[in-house]
Amino acid sequence: MSSTKTLIFVVGPTAVGKTSVAIDLALEYKCEIISADSRQFFKDIAIGTAKPSDQELAVIKHHFVDFLDLGESYSAGQFEKEAMSFLEGYFQENDICICVGGSGLYVNALMFGLDDLPSSPSVRSEIIELYEKEGLVALQRKLEELDPEHYASMDAQNKQRVMRALEVCMASGVKYSELRSLSKKDRPFKSIVIGLNRDREELYDRINKRVDLMLEEGLLEEVKSVYPRKSLNSLQTVGYKEFFNHFDGEYDKEEAIRLVKRNSRRFAKRQITWFNKYETIQWFKPSKKAAILKFVSLNRSK
């Protein structure tokens, strides 16, 4: 692959409008799309993860959507390996590809590569013991103390990710955030990073309305269908956990809806914090298509 090959990243917070912009770009450049939204990898959870619609998938070919069973484990390292393998073949015949998503770790994996981070079975056992005794809150508190930068930008409700970050910090004595950024792998393509955002009030209103729309589309029925598998790591995510707790009798439906909206807004804030760290990112409102196309054109010619 040569440096004329270009991967355009379209990133930003949940509900900002990434899918629509990515499809517009793919139509413009006659190319295909890689999803870097780790929630959309899994089958059977289309509504709560806001997967591209059947119509959108028919317009542009998407990769890494709806390809894993809920019980399968899948890491950012696996995504890096498989997405790079796909691109090696894809770029033999094409010059541009789009990568769209809000899962920062998976975007990082494809853009920069992941370092070989340390692991320790004894430390992992210690962390599991702490979790069994004191729960997720204890792990969150410890990680926030050891690596506040990473804690502020991650999905702290994802038990497995909290445990892994803690394991790295405790095994190495170095912050997970620092180890992850020590090196960047050379990539045989040019990366152009488009960040999408809206005024905060507008974004939060879109998030609230999206949750209402998901409920109209059958979110509760979807959650009920996967409720027997609620302990799976793939389901430890906003929009599902809150309703699982509701079904367990912890609070009523109205409170569950309020929590989904609140936790989605908090997640959006963490996503913006994460992507703000990218040195080459250029932020746009999703409606600024002409400006986005000009930015891509200028950076492809550099």
Question: Can you tell me the mean pLDDT for 47-71?
Answer: 96
CB of 227 within 8 A of CB of 70? no
CB of 225 within 8 A of CB of 148? no
- Tell me which amino acid residue 263 is: N
**Residue-wise over 75-112: b if at least 16 C-beta within 10 A, else e?**
ebeebbebbbeebeebbeeebbbbbbbbbbbbbbbbbb
Give the pLDDT confidence score for residue 154 in this predicted structure.
82
- Write the CA distances from 146 to 2, 249, 275, integer angstroms: 41, 34, 22
Residue ranges and CATH numbers for the domains of the chain are: 6-114+183-300 (3.40.50.300), 121-180 (1.10.20.140)
Strand order in the sheet with 62-63: 62-63, 33-35, 96-100, 6-11, 190-196, 282-284
pTM for the full model?
0.84
Q: Is 47 strand, coil or helix?
A: coil
Q: How far apart are CA 181 and CA 108, in angstroms?
A: 10
* Residue partners of 170: CB distance under 8 A and separation at least 6: 120, 123, 126, 127, 146
Q: What is the pLDDT of residues 132-142, one digit of tens each?
A: 999 999 999 99
Of residues 200 and 160, more confidence is placed in 200
Q: How far apart are CA 273 and CA 100, in angstroms?
A: 17
C-alpha torsion angle, residues 92, 96, 102, 103 (rounded to 10): 20
The yes-or-no verdict on residue 1 having pLDDT over 50 is no
The two tokens of residue 215 are 């409920």
CB of 273 within 8 A of CB of 8? no
Q: Give φ, ψ of 10 to 5 degrees.
A: -115, 105
Give the pLDDT confidence score for residue 5 in this predicted structure.
96
Q: What is the pLDDT of residues 61-70, one digit of tens each?
A: 999 999 999 9
Share of the chain above pLDDT 70, in %: 97
- Tell me which amino acid residue 5 is: K
The yes-or-no verdict on residue 39 having pLDDT over 60 is yes
Average pLDDT in the chain: 93
CB of 47 within 8 A of CB of 82? no
